[in-house]
């Protein structure tokens, strides 16, 4: 239901309560309240709250219950509907703000950074309260969620105080006066509600951001979130601002198609954002320097290249073409895909092993899928074809090893159980 339709329903409900002579009459929000709620609705989209707090397969938006894998164990996303007993309905504005921007729960416990408060701290208090105003309008769902399921010692929440001292830098976003308004808007969205660094910035062993390598890629959930700097080899260097906007809005562009966790981000978040904000995000990302350097491709007579080339011709060329060019806005152009040159080949290995489904959006509803080949290919064959792809059509990347394939296959098998 649209925002306008929900507003009409609430107004009708308030009038019905008045006509029925009830003891309490709902107050119809004034125009300022409507504007705050609509602003909060948009920020909830920009912050991608639904992806974590809505359990797949259940028609209970924001009621929690989804398992979120982390390197320290899986966490369960809490209920953020306005239910007073199991959600956030009893929280004050100050308590809600403290959770989002300080990582502190109403009972004083620390929040785990799987809830990206280290990024949400860059948001303004007005934006946070607008989010709360919107969440107060969603249907309350009585759904008890037990979030504390991490194994020892990660279940000791007071240890988060040490983590915060090491990695948490609280405070709102500070605009760069030397940059344009558009660039600053993009920086705010990327570093604040969008929390792009949560997936795309490398982490320390304790899970803190390695800021000197911001946005240069991270392996998580058996995917590799690629480099989104302007790096010419492994990042967005070949993409125009329009290409970035296309990808975020449509889920597809002339180079790539969103799948895996990024497909959810596009479906729940970026495809529903306005074009001006997407252009701002593109402007900011295109300004981020890359650091991948150069690499030498393997020679065509390398045994892995010879074997991989034969496998590619048999299984891949029918869709991706013999020259890797694919079909723009439909099948990825792997010849020009910067993610192929990623330092970590996990995503490529995973896609070969179990296939993938690309995202469907209003602009690109087809959502083509790639079939799995893990049932057909041995680990050595997967390594060979991945190596061939990573060293053809001007790509240059280290050979994929049988051990890397075996590790990904084992992890995917464990996750499926």
Tens digits of per-residue pLDDT, 75-93? 899 999 999 999 999 999 9
Counting every residue written for the chain, the total comes to 417
Residues 28 and 76 in one domain: yes
Residue 192 near residue 178 (C-beta atoms within 8 A): no
Residues 117 and 195 in one domain: no
Residue 304 near residue 384 (C-beta atoms within 8 A): yes
Residues 335 and 272 in one domain: no
In a domain, 45, yes or no: yes
Instruction: Using alpha carbons, select from 75, 81, 73 the residue that is nearest to residue 54.
Output: 81
Burial 147-156 (b: 16+ CB within 10 A, else e): beebeeebee
**What is the number of domains present in the chain?**
3
In a domain, 32, yes or no: yes
Structure tokens, 357? 């489904």
Residues 12 and 50 in one domain: yes
In a domain, 292, yes or no: no
Quickly list DSSP for 38-104: HHHHHHHHHTTHHHHHS-TT-S-TT----EE--TT--EEPPP-SS-TTTSSTT--HHHHHHHHHH-B
In a domain, 377, yes or no: yes
Given this model, what pLDDT does residue 7 score? 39
In a domain, 294, yes or no: no
In a domain, 146, yes or no: no
Which position has the higher pLDDT, 11 or 35?
Answer: 35
The burial of 238, by beta-carbon neighbours within 10 Å (0-12 exposed, 13-18 middle, 19 or more buried), is given as middle
CATH assignment of the domain containing 384: 1.10.760.10
pLDDT tens profile 232-249 = 889 999 999 999 999 999
Residues 20 and 132 in one domain: yes
Residues 189 and 105 in one domain: no
Given this model, what pLDDT does residue 187 score? 98
Q: Is the pLDDT of residue 3 over 50?
A: no
Residue 14 near residue 28 (C-beta atoms within 8 A): yes
In a domain, 330, yes or no: yes
Residue 176 near residue 184 (C-beta atoms within 8 A): yes
Given this model, what pLDDT does residue 73 score? 86
Residues 323 and 260 in one domain: no
Residues 63 and 190 in one domain: no
In a domain, 68, yes or no: yes
pTM equals: 0.88
Q: What average pLDDT does this structure show over 168-184?
A: 96
Residues 26 and 158 in one domain: yes
pLDDT tens profile 298-354 = 999 999 999 999 999 999 999 999 999 999 888 999 999 989 999 899 999 999 999
Residues 189 and 263 in one domain: yes
Residues 191 and 50 in one domain: no
Residues 253 and 314 in one domain: no
Range of the domain at 122: 3-141+153-167
């Amino acid at each position: 239901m649209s925002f306008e339709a929900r507003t009409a329903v609430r107004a009708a409900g308030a009038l019905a309560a008045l006509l029925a002579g009830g003891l309490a009459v709902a107050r119809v929000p004034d125009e300022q309240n409507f504007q705050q709620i609509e602003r909060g609705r948009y920020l909830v989209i920009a912050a991608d709250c639904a992806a974590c707090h809505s359990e797949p397969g259940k028609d209970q938006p924001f009621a929690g219950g989804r398992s979120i894998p982390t390197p320290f164990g899986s966490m369960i996303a809490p209920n953020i509907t306005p239910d007073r007993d199991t959600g956030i309905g009893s929280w004050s504005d100050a308590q809600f703000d403290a959770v989002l921007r300080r990582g502190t729960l109403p009972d004083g416990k620390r929040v785990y950074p799987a809830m990206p408060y280290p990024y949400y701290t860059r948001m303004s208090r007005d934006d946070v309260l607008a989010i709360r105003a919107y969440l107060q309008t969603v249907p309350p769902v009585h759904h008890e969620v037990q979030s504390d399921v991490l194994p020892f010692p990660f279940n000791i929440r007071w240890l988060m105080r040490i983590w915060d001292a090491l990695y948490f830098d609280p405070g709102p976003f500070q605009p760069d006066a030397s940059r344009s308004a558009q660039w600053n808007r993009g920086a705010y969205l990327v570093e604040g509600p969008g929390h792009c660094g949560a997936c795309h910035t490398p982490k320390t062993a304790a899970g803190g951001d390695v800021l000197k390598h911001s946005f240069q890629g991270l392996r998580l959930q058996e995917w590799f979130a690629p480099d989104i700097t302007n790096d010419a080899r492994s990042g967005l260097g070949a993409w125009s601002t329009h290409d970035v906007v296309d990808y975020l809005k449509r889920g597809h562009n002339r180079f790539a198609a969103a799948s895996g966790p990024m497909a959810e981000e596009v479906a729940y978040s970026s495809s529903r954002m306005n074009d001006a904000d997407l252009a701002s995000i593109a402007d900011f990302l295109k300004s981020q320097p890359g650091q991948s350097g150069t690499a030498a491709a393997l020679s065509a007579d390398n045994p892995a290249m010879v074997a991989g080339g034969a496998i590619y011709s048999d299984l891949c060329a029918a869709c991706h073409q013999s020259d890797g060019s694919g079909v723009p806005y439909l099948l990825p152009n792997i010849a020009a895909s910067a993610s192929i040159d990623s330092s970590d080949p996990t995503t490529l290995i995973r896609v070969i092993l179990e296939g993938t489904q690309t995202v469907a959006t209003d602009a690109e509803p087809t959502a083509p899928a790639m079939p799995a080949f893990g049932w057909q290919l041995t680990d050595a064959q997967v390594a060979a074809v991945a190596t061939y792809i990573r060293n053809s059509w001007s790509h240059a990347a280290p050979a994929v090893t049988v051990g890397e394939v075996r590790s990904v296959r084992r992890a995917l098998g464990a996750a499926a159980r």
